[in-house]
């Protein structure tokens, strides 16, 4: 690409703020990946010949392709907001986006190219993100967001393990680290989201606080399970620790029981994320202890369910607010979120049905429902993410316009 074309591309509104290209990539890639995976399972497409086999491909692309894009989008927007540092400039953002795309291509082709190009490009992407975030997070007085940096570094370490050691083992580690990252990120978002909602509704006397001891217990329990699963997969010790993670996540929900305001969508959707996560660990624990072949179903509760829904919630909130729009109050959001949850439950059901010897029809239904949610997202968010801001503000700023119905709208 010539220097001129690069500059012209970087001037596109898509590169106005860090989340824009990556949230778009997340949703587009979600649809593409699941379409490809379903076609592969149905036999319409050949299975990718990557090292570690098709399941490693499936998991790697969903975690280090899709989830990593959303993590990049989130951190590129959140770190400047949390620490007050400058947002990433357009040319760097375009460079990051191209590197992410190259990483995808290299991994898809790793069957013939070998793992080295994929490893180099994907690790370079994570390392670039780390080098962008480490200085501002470290300089921040009191370093309140250091845990996010640690989680990203752990994600990078697990990524190296995926390429240079046993892929599936390290992908399980990566899934655990992502769960921790979700708890860390959600606690930061939910404080502002829920208290913003309570302010807007004029509620006094109800107070939501994400209490650090409970959060620390949850992340500790998840970390302990992840380490145990790495050291002794399938061991009863790992099973008990999965149950401990479940209990610690349910314990986190003590903060969330704030009466009927729980049913407000901006409270309820993050709440469901924790439920799915807790149920996922619960199912994994029960499966290990009872010897059921349901560990994979539990993992899908964590990833298809909790992770996807967390990504969805963060994207519909931050994706609008930092593009200059107020929060979306339309019906499609609960609909798409519901599709994700139903798709997850159908996916779990399909594991039970496979276990008792029934067909894989449910696998297809689950994939379709999940993809439909992301198609809905793309339909609503394509103009928001790729178009110019509706106000005069620039970059990642919150909406500069007055809200149309001032009482009911709020920023996160």
Partner 1 sequence: MNLLRAWFAGIPAYLWSGWGALASLFMFLALWDWGSQIYGDLVLPGPLATFVQLGALVDAGAAWPELAVTAKRALTGFALSLAAGSVLGLLAGLSVTASVMSRPIVTVLVGMPPIAWLVLALLWFGTGDATPVFTVFIACFPIIFVGALQGARTLDGQLKDVAHAYRLPLRMTLSDVYLPHVVSYLFPAWIAALGMSWKIVVMAELLATPDGVGAALAVSRAHLDTAASMAWIAAVVGLLLTAEYLVLEPIKREVENWRTAL
Least distance from C-beta 190 to partner 1, angstroms?
18
- Total number of residues that touch partner 1 (CB under 8 A): 24
214 part of the interface to partner 1, by CB under 8 A: yes
Cβ proximity to partner 1, 165 vs 231, nearer residue = 231
Applying CB under 8 A, the span of 63-71, 72-80, 213-221, 306-314 interacting with partner 1 comes to 213-221
Q: Are 385 and 323 in contact (CB under 8 A)?
A: yes
Among 141, 254, 260, 263, indicate the residue that binds partner 1 (CB under 8 A): 254
Among 27, 132, 158, 248, indicate the residue that binds partner 1 (CB under 8 A): 248
Residue with tokens 């309140």: 144
CB-based contacts of 220-229 (< 8 A; 24+ apart in sequence): 220/248, 221/245, 221/247, 221/248, 221/249, 222/176, 222/179, 222/180, 222/183, 222/248, 222/249, 222/281, 223/176, 223/180, 225/176, 225/281, 226/172, 226/173, 226/175, 226/176, 226/177, 229/172, 229/173, 229/176
- Which of 94, 96, 169 is closest to 131 using CA atoms? 96
277 part of the interface to partner 1, by CB under 8 A: no
- Burial letters 281-293, b for 16+ CB under 10 A, else e: bbbbbbbbeeeee
- Which of 341, 245, 325 is closest to 285 using CA atoms? 245
The footprint of partner 1 on residues 255-274 (CB under 8 A) is 257
Cβ proximity to partner 1, 82 vs 220, nearer residue = 220
Least distance from C-beta 298 to partner 1, angstroms?
15
Say how far apart CA 405 and CA 199 lie, in whole Å. 15
383 part of the interface to partner 1, by CB under 8 A: no
287 part of the interface to partner 1, by CB under 8 A: no
Least distance from C-beta 134 to partner 1, angstroms?
32
Least distance from C-beta 241 to partner 1, angstroms?
5
289 part of the interface to partner 1, by CB under 8 A: yes
Q: Rule CB under 8 A: which residues touch partner 1?
A: 214, 217, 221, 224, 228, 235-238, 240-241, 243-248, 250-251, 253-254, 257, 285, 289
């Amino acid at each position: 690409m010539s220097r001129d074309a690069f500059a012209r591309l970087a001037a596109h509104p898509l590169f106005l703020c860090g989340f824009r290209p990556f949230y778009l990539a997340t949703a587009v890639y979600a649809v593409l990946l699941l379409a490809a995976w379903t076609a592969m399972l149905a036999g319409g497409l050949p299975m990718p010949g990557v090292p570690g086999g098709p399941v490693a491909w499936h998991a790697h692309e969903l975690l280090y392709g899709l989830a990593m894009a959303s993590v990049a989008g989130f951190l590129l927007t959140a770190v400047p907001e949390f620490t007050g540092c400058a947002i990433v400039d357009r040319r760097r953002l375009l460079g990051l986006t191209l590197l992410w795309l190259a990483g995808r291509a290299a991994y898809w082709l790793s069957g013939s190219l070998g793992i080295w190009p994929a490893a180099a490009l994907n690790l370079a992407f994570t390392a670039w993100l780390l080098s962008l975030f480490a200085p501002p997070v470290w300089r921040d007085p009191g370093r309140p967001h250091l845990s996010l940096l640690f989680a990203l570094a752990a994600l990078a370490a697990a990524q190296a393990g995926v390429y240079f050691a046993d892929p599936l083992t390290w992908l399980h580690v990566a899934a655990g680290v992502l769960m921790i990252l979700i708890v860390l990120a959600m606690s930061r978002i939910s404080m502002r989201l829920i208290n913003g909602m309570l302010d807007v509704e004029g509620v006094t006397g109800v107070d939501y606080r994400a209490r650090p001891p409970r959060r620390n217990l949850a992340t500790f329990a998840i970390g302990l399970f992840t380490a145990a699963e790495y050291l002794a997969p399938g061991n009863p010790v790992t099973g008990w620790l999965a149950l401990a993670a479940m209990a610690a996540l349910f314990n986190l929900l003590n903060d969330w029981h704030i009466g009927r305001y729980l049913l407000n969508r901006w409270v309820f959707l993050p709440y469901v994320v924790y439920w799915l996560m807790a149920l996922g660990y619960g199912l994994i624990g029960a499966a290990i202890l009872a010897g059921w072949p349901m560990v994979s179903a539990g993992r899908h509760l964590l990833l298809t369910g909790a992770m996807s829904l967390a990504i969805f919630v963060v994207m519909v909130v931050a994706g609008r607010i930092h593009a200059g729009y107020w929060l979306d109050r339309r019906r499609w959001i609960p609909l798409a979120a519901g599709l994700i949850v139903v798709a997850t439950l159908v996916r779990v059901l399909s594991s039970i049905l496979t276990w008792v010897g029934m067909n894989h029809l449910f696998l297809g239904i689950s994939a379709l429902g999940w993809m439909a949610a992301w198609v809905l997202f793309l339909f609503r968010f394509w103009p928001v993410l790729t178009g110019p801001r509706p106000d005069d503000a620039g970059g990642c700023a919150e909406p500069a316009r007055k809200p149309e119905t001032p009482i009911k709208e709020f920023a996160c």
